[in-house]
Structures are given as C-alpha cells and as structure tokens.
Amino acid sequence: MTKKFPKVVKGSHLTVTTFEDGSTKLEWDWDALTKDVDNAIASLNTIVKVTEDAVKKTRGRRKK
C-alpha cells in the first residue's frame, strides 16, 4: 500500500499539510479563527447569563 503525499487535514481554521519527509506546514485562516473565538465567547456569555438568572431565582425563593 502506497501512502500518498502530501497529506492534507483541513479544520475550521487550520490546514495541516504533512510531507513525505515528515515535515509539516500550517496554514491559518485568521478570519475563521476569529469567528470561532467570537462564537465561543458568545456561547459562554449565554451560559453565564442563564446560570446567573437561575441563581437569582433560587435566592429569591429562599428568602422569607
């Protein structure tokens, strides 16, 4: 079985090319990376808000 080179693995914001001699080349898509980070931050902010709202509701019920 013959391995075909170069081998290319493309992710959402990074492409890794591996050559026959074992060396690699990394190519970043900075716009896609920025978008992924922005989406992750937005997702975290949503989780924090929901958690904070849940804590406020719980605290309100306990006070009498």
- Digit-coded pLDDT (tens) for 1-21: 667 999 999 999 999 999 999
Q: In whole angstroms, what is the distance from residue 36 CA to residue 12 CA?
A: 8
Q: In whole angstroms, what is the distance from residue 5 CA to residue 8 CA?
A: 8
Q: In whole angstroms, what is the distance from residue 38 CA to residue 26 CA?
A: 22
Its pTM stands at 0.59
Between 8 and 41, where is the model more confident? 8
Using DSSP, state whether 22 is helix, strand or coil: coil
Q: In whole angstroms, what is the distance from residue 28 CA to residue 8 CA?
A: 13
**CA-based radius of gyration for the chain:** 23
Q: Which residues pair with 27 in a beta bridge?
A: 15
Q: What is the model's pLDDT at position 56? A: 75
